[in-house]
Amino acid sequence: MRNRGRLVRFIVIVQCILFLAHWLLYRTWTFQEHASGSIWLSVGLGFLSITFISASLLAFNYTNAAVRFYYRIAAVWAGLLSFLFVAAVCAWAVFAVTSAVGAPLNFHRLVELLFGIALLAGLSGVINASLTRITRATVRLANMPVAWRGRRAALISDLHLGHVRNGNFLRRMIAKILREEPHAVFIAGDLYDGTAIDAMKAAAPLSKLTAPHGVYFVAGNHEQFRDDSKYLNAVQAAGVRVLHNEKVEVDGLQIAGVPYRLAWEPNVFASVLRALHLDPDRASILLTHAPDHPEISEAAGVSLQLSGHTHLGQFIPWSWIAKRIYRQFVYGLSQIGRMQVFTSSGAGTWGPPLRLGSNPEIVLLQFE
């Protein structure tokens, strides 16, 4: 009951924010008397304001063609709303400045221009989100086993299989990875979106993903919204090694994995890493979904942490927030003490299927 109460409060708060955002769009567009279509505009925006919450609730409980279509429309609109909201704020900022200095301004013409730019930016973000890149990086680790020098590993995260992306998307990603012929593959969580889905069917293409030195998976927060067993069982059934608070050794390299739920709380994360008994005098890779506590990984003697989760914010203004939260660990290769961290921006999207200022990617790591 307590969790349900929190969920209800969260939904009410988000819906109120969405109402206010749509009200701002309406007020901005109709500020001048000659702006027409106010009744139909208010009805349309009123309906759009409830689409994302209602579509999300349906998506968590049902999976069929109608729900998928509705969710995709609602998700795209949620992304466009972000750009239109920024445009509206900019319009009012210009209005405040021109009013203060007494300069003439055709406010509605300015709004038309800014909203047009916002829509073009949003649509370009939809296109960009479907163009997955290969990002290449060279990693030099102290005490790297000779056998691993010159080898390549693929890192992929945040595919978010669900109502927007499905098995066909996963097949395309696997084909891209296999063309690179990596020696190992790391899947850093959020393979699933956490919505209603046939987990076994969605994960089935993973049976084609092979590498000489293994394919490894660790659960992300979207697998762990509720019981994660159906997702983990599906991934295991496809032949992928699920790392759940465990360490394996491959040709002298320590490879460990800690799922999101146990890596999120600092004390628990530190305790789990201690139990893994990583040898700090030998190279190690830690697969964990989010770069929340890299200082704890470094203290445990990890050489390289591989993560995702941040999406690099996906698009403005969320990219600014992500950078503020995760600092230098928001994306790419960074250093903390003796440990390196590579955070991927992910291959898929959560919520709005848009990317602007971040690119969907598969990371290819070259070890030297």
User: Hey, what domains does the chain have and what are their CATH numbers?
Assistant: 2-128 (no CATH), 133-367 (3.60.21.10)
pTM over 0.95: no
Other C-beta atoms within 10 Å of 365: how many? 22
Dig out the tokens for 1 from the structure.
């009951």
Q: Give tens-digit pLDDT for 247-292.
A: 999 999 999 999 999 999 999 999 999 999 999 999 999 999 999 9
pLDDT value of position 4: 79
Are 161 and 202 a contacting pair, CB within 8 Å? yes
Computed over every residue of the chain, the mean pLDDT equals 95
Q: How far apart are CA 151 and CA 268, in angstroms?
A: 33
| Cα three-residue angle 17-20-25, rounded to 5 degrees | 130
Q: How far apart are CA 69 and CA 65, in angstroms?
A: 6
- Which of 1-15, 179-193, 269-283 has the least mean pLDDT? 1-15
Place of tokens 């163009």: 131
Strands (E) in the chain, as ranges, are 133-139, 152-156, 184-187, 215-217, 241-242, 246-250, 253-258, 284-288, 304-307, 332-336, 339-343, 361-367
pLDDT value of position 307: 98
- Outline where the chain has alpha helix (H): 2-29, 38-59, 65-101, 107-128, 167-179, 199-203, 229-237, 260-263, 266-276, 294-299, 318-326
Are 335 and 294 a contacting pair, CB within 8 Å? no
pLDDT value of position 3: 67
Model confidence at 5: pLDDT above 90 = no
